[in-house]
Amino acid sequence: MKLTGPLERVLRAFLADPSVPRYGYDLMKASGLPSGTLYPLLSRLQEQRLVTSAWEPAGTDSSGRPARRYYWLTDEGIETGRQELARASAARAARAARAGRAGAPGAARGARRGAARPARGGT
């Protein structure tokens, strides 16, 4: 599984409480994704058997709104999602550590740059 930004946001929404089924609009709000990104992603996750879904039972809402389709992570989806998010977090931490070292005062890159330039001006 390639962890893209949208996928990471959806997994975080699901894993905030994996026992709670989520409907599409709820996931859109939680992830900040538009429907054109969210629903194809959910479809791919279902094909991979990481997410399952079911329509809510008829007659559960008297307001006249359309029935909702609820999605939830499978056991495999929970495990895979947690592993992928942990991997992404570790990769981010490693990149941040490298960036911190590269930008540290006296780092070789900065020292070379300053030493390689001839002095300006002069008469």
pTM for the complete prediction?
0.74
Residue 32, pLDDT > 80, answer: yes
Sign of the alpha-carbon dihedral angle for 31, 34, 37, 40: positive
Q: Residue 30: its pLDDT value, please? A: 96
Top-confidence residue, 118 or 51: 51
* CATH class, 1-57+66-89 region: mainly alpha
Question: Residue type at 3?
Answer: L
Identify the weakest region by mean pLDDT among 21-25, 68-72, 84-88, 104-108: 104-108
Dist CA 17 CA 116 (whole Å): 55
Asked if residue 117 has pLDDT above 70, the reply is no
Give domain limits for the chain. 1-57+66-89
Give the closest residue to 32 by CA, choosing from 52, 53, 57, 13.
13
80 has a pLDDT exceeding 80: yes
Residue 35 predicted with pLDDT over 80: yes
22 DSSP β-pair partners: 71
